[in-house]
Amino acid sequence: TVVDVDKVLDGLNRVQREAVTSDAEVLQILAPPGSGKTRTLTSRVAWLLANGMNPSNIIVATFTNKASKEMKERISKMIGGGLENKLIIGTFHSIATRYLRKYGHLIGIPGGFGIADTSDSSNIISRIIKKHKYSTMDGNDAGGVKWRISNLKSKMQSVDVYIASQKKNNHNEEFSKIYEQYEKELKNSNLLDFDDLLLRCLDLLRAHPLCVSNIQAVLIDEFQDTNLVQFDLMCLFASRRNKITIVGDPDQSIYGFRAAEIGNLSTMQEVYPNTIVINLEENYRSSAAILNCSLEVIQQDKARPQKGITPTHELGISPVLRQLPSPGDEARWMTQEVLRLRAVTGNLFTFDDIAVLVRSASLAREIETQMSQKRIPYRLIAGIKFFERAEVKPVLDYLRVILDPNNSEALLRILNTPRRGLGDKAFRELSAMAEKKDTSIWNIVQKAARGDLSIAGISNPGKVGLSKFVKVIRDTQNALKSEESEDPETIGKIIKLLLEKIDYKVYVGEKLQGELEDRWQHVEEFITQAVEFCGNVAAGIDEVDLPDTEAVGEAIEESKLVAALGKFLANAALASVKEGPEESGDGSGTGVLTISTIHNAKGLEWPIVFIPGCYTGSIPHSRSEDHDEERRLLYVAMTRAQVLLYLSYPLHLWDRKSGSSQGSNLCSFLADDEIDRLVVKQGPTMDLEKIQSFSNIMSRKCPTREMVQATINAAGLQILDDWVESDDPTRGSEESEGRQYSSQSQYAARVGYQ
Ligand code: ATP
Ligand code: MG
């Protein structure tokens, strides 16, 4: 209807509208950060829906699950009617998972397959290395091997292809063997790793293109970071109609280290000669000052085609480039600056408006310490994922085993958690026995529990423990299967009963460090999430079944609860790649500050952004071989900022190995005369006008002029940066600068800092 269409196009500029309503079959929207690519893509989906396209015939691939959730919310606001819930939307991994669940049996993948998450993959590889006593000398440590395997798979080098190529060259025997056995272990445990999800989906769609015969349109965000497998998936998804829209920005390609293929952009134009390219040139996100400075960085790449980008906001406040004596000072300065800004602007913004973006997760520790000391609520997007927590992971593993006891990875982790009197020897013998009899560990466990099989390494208490374990698993399986009600609350009850039976709370209290109450809260949060998720599945909001297509599918017989739980577990495994659940604020209305890696901040924006650790070795990272990619990474980080951008670096780093401090250099991308002219070294000064423009950009808050005036009066315009080194001996961490300088004045002289 006319009303819907108006709403979809509302607030878009001319070129964006053109892109949204384009009749082009294949469309590439290539544009710089903040130009509204994601917004345009979202509107195009809404446009297709408003024009009558069936949502279950549209595939939308986003970079994170969170991004798809946001996209769905926006589409819902534009057109409503719950259509957004029927879209096939998610990351490539989650879309592939859904296809494999529905049609995997066509290529011999049982519907109940589990997903090997990062820790599963590492565990399998470590076990293989240990068992065969492989030398880890030439990079064959579990992490390195996992990374190599993943890279090979992303380049479609399956184990057979790889081994064939290695045989020819006759080298790297050991790695080939690990790769081969890793694949075998996955298969035996009925697991697919993240790369398999994509590769096997590719196999499926090649063999059975009818599975996607209903697809009318394919839309992809952040296309510059897709790999070869994802590109082929895109072509297969679209094979019926060839109607594709991608948005991307070559300047923001930052996943080359994980085999993302920037060449996909031009390959696409070759594969689809009718591709129409649209460029968006206006930036709606950042102040001109931030934009100019970011452009200065990206333009250092001389090979890059020069492109226009026009700011729509006024100059605003110059970015700050700050040198601090040490990482401890840097973290302390940031927290003080955060509090100071809030004070001088009269709490114009909340902690939600602030992000600290770090090159590597390890840089976050010092910052966390300071934030907690100053009681600034924060969420860490770089740290341990919720589902990986020591108290949550076993619960997840129990459920995985209950749904599929052949999942030996999960089984091995919970067999003795909580303690059941099984030692290393018992584990070794169980595995060896399973291998000898060519059966699953679960089968051996059942036999040993019954006493049909005596295993020397298992004591009598161990045997009792095993039979209790088998009974708990079986009982829970039966409870789930026989459950007639579809009420998701039942899932919660079943999980709680399971945890009671295994005395899980006692285990958490005794075996895990830290506050029991905190940990137990996470367990309860997990149960709440499971119930909520299964409720959403039942209500048709999440993970709606793929529509039936011309491909023949034998329906998998599962109870509704089992099916919903299966979807929840898959979701949990995939969520742990990049994001945990939303953590909420402390309820005080001040919001939560975000600490994130730059990689995870892609596509997002905040009014205030801090980028600490801008020194050579951190960015560009000492282990990175691709400096252009590192520069793009800094560019991505800088272009997240809307109003205020803080770059900083410590002059001295504490070197653990030598036990002394070492000098560091400003990141080479920022050590540039042009940039020097564009930044200031002090904190920003803020006069009435600047605060006004500040609040304009953050228009959702938009205080009145009077309010801003009152604020400034109250603050007495005392808003110059007045951060000074404190003498508080408790500050900073153990690596703090205290040891690095013999006296305060010495270091003050050294950094020319008053
Ligand atoms: P990135 O490359 O970082 O992913 P992007 O190109 O996807 O950026 P968006 O996130 O879609 O950019 O948009 C950036 C900001 O600009 C958002 O806050 C969006 O709402 C706003 N925006 C986009 N288009 C317009 C417009 N025509 N008028 C006003 N604001 C806009
Ligand atoms: Mg975007």
Give per-residue pLDDT as tens, 358-393: 998 888 888 988 998 888 998 887 666 788 888 999
Last residue of a domain, one of 189, 217, 243: 189
Residue 307 falls inside a structural domain? no
Claim to verify: residue 469 and residue 518 sit in the same structural domain: yes
Ligand 1 atom at minimal distance to the Cα of residue 636: 3
The answer to whether the CB of 199 falls within 8 A of the CB of 158 is: yes
Question: Which residue owns the Cα nearest ligand 1 atom 2?
Answer: 33
CA neighbor of 42 nearest in space, from 12, 14, 65, 15: 12
Last residue of a domain, one of 169, 189, 209: 189
Claim to verify: residue 647 and residue 692 sit in the same structural domain: yes
Query: d(Cα 74, Cα 339) in Å, to the nearest integer?
Result: 32
Question: Which residue owns the Cα nearest ligand 1 atom 9?
Answer: 36
For position 379, what pLDDT does the model report? 85
Query: d(Cα 365, Cα 376) in Å, to the nearest integer?
Result: 14
Please write the tens of the pLDDT for every residue from 531-590.
Answer: 988 988 888 888 777 888 877 666 566 778 888 899 999 988 887 544 444 554 444 567
Claim to verify: residue 658 and residue 738 sit in the same structural domain: yes
User: What residues pair up with 593 in beta bridges, in sequence order?
Assistant: 378
For position 559, what pLDDT does the model report? 78
Q: How many CB atoms lie within 10 A of CB 173?
A: 12
* Residue 285 CA to ligand 1 centre (angstroms): 6
Probe residue for ligand 1, chosen from 37, 219, 284 as the CB with the greatest number of ligand atoms within 8 Å: 284
CA neighbor of 128 nearest in space, from 113, 155, 146, 116: 146
* Residue 247 CA to ligand 2 centre (angstroms): 8
pLDDT band at 714 (very low <50, low <70, confident <90, very high): low
* Residue 222 CA to ligand 2 centre (angstroms): 7
Claim to verify: residue 26 and residue 60 sit in the same structural domain: yes
For position 557, what pLDDT does the model report? 66
Please write the tens of the pLDDT for every residue from 402-416.
Answer: 999 999 999 999 999
Residue whose pair of structure tokens reads 């280290």 in the numeric block: 257
Structure tokens at 494: 């079943």
Ligand 1 atom at minimal distance to the Cα of residue 249: 2
Query: d(Cα 403, Cα 408) in Å, to the nearest integer?
Result: 12
pLDDT band at 156 (very low <50, low <70, confident <90, very high): confident
Using a CB cutoff of 5 Å, list residues around ligand 2, an ion. Answer: 37-38, 603
Ligand nearest to the backbone CA of 42: 1
Ligand nearest to the backbone CA of 285: 1
Claim to verify: residue 363 and residue 418 sit in the same structural domain: no
pTM, 2 dp: 0.87
Residues within the annotated binding site? Answer: 31-38
| DSSP string of 410-468, one letter each residue | HHHHHTTSS--S--HHHHHHHHHHHHHTTS-HHHHHHHHHHTSS--TT--HHHHHHHHH
Q: How high is the mean pLDDT of the chain?
A: 85
- Amino acid identity at 214: N
Last residue of a domain, one of 230, 264, 283: 283
pLDDT band at 6 (very low <50, low <70, confident <90, very high): confident
Residue 583 falls inside a structural domain? no
Ligand 1 site, CB within 6 A: 11-13, 16, 31, 33-39, 249, 252, 284-285, 603, 605
Claim to verify: residue 405 and residue 507 sit in the same structural domain: yes
Residue 303 falls inside a structural domain? no
Residue 613 falls inside a structural domain? yes
* Residue 603 CA to ligand 2 centre (angstroms): 4
Number of structural domains in the chain: 4
The continuous run of DSSP H or E covering 720 comes out as none
Question: Which residue owns the Cα nearest ligand 1 atom 26?
Answer: 12
CATH number of the domain within which 726 lies: 3.40.50.300
Ligand 1 atom at minimal distance to the Cα of residue 33: 2
**Alpha-helical segments (H) within 551-672:** 560-578, 627-638
Claim to verify: residue 643 and residue 666 sit in the same structural domain: yes
Structure tokens at 474: 């079986």
* Residue 693 CA to ligand 1 centre (angstroms): 18
Ligand nearest to the backbone CA of 67: 2
Of 344 and 192, the one with more pLDDT: 192
In the three-class reduction of DSSP (H, G, I as helix; E, B as strand; rest coil), residue 513 is classed as coil
* Residue 39 CA to ligand 1 centre (angstroms): 6
For position 286, what pLDDT does the model report? 92
Cis peptide before 620 (omega within 30 of 0): yes
Query: d(Cα 221, Cα 39) in Å, to the nearest integer?
Result: 10
Please write the tens of the pLDDT for every residue from 311-363.
Answer: 998 888 889 999 999 999 999 999 999 988 887 777 778 898 999 999 988 88
Q: How many CB atoms lie within 10 A of CB 452?
A: 9
pLDDT band at 727 (very low <50, low <70, confident <90, very high): very low
Residue 305 falls inside a structural domain? no
Claim to verify: residue 447 and residue 539 sit in the same structural domain: yes
Ligand 1 atom at minimal distance to the Cα of residue 640: 3
Residue 290 falls inside a structural domain? no
The answer to whether the CB of 633 falls within 8 A of the CB of 601 is: no
The answer to whether the CB of 624 falls within 8 A of the CB of 592 is: no
Residue 302 falls inside a structural domain? no
Ligand nearest to the backbone CA of 602: 1
Residue 298 falls inside a structural domain? no
pLDDT band at 140 (very low <50, low <70, confident <90, very high): low
Probe residue for ligand 1, chosen from 9, 18, 35 as the CB with the greatest number of ligand atoms within 8 Å: 35
Query: d(Cα 387, Cα 572) in Å, to the nearest integer?
Result: 7
* Residue 203 CA to ligand 2 centre (angstroms): 30
Claim to verify: residue 58 and residue 138 sit in the same structural domain: no
Ligand 1 atom at minimal distance to the Cα of residue 283: 16
CATH number of the domain within which 488 lies: 1.10.486.10
Ligand nearest to the backbone CA of 294: 1
Claim to verify: residue 480 and residue 408 sit in the same structural domain: yes
Claim to verify: residue 371 and residue 396 sit in the same structural domain: no
Ligand 1 atom at minimal distance to the Cα of residue 604: 3
Percent of the chain whose pLDDT exceeds 70: 86
Angle, helices 460-482 vs 560-578, to 10°: value is 110
Claim to verify: residue 53 and residue 161 sit in the same structural domain: no
Residues within the annotated binding site for ATP? Answer: 31-38
Residue ranges making up the domain that contains 427: 388-548+558-578
Structure tokens at 153: 């798979």
Taking CA 563 as the corner, what is the angle to CA 561 and CA 566, rounded to the nearest 5 degrees?
110
* Residue 67 CA to ligand 2 centre (angstroms): 9
Query: Which stretches does DSSP call E strand in 209-351?
Result: 217-220, 244-248, 276-279, 282-283, 310-311, 320-324
What ipTM goes with this model? 0.99
The continuous run of DSSP H or E covering 58 comes out as strand 58-61
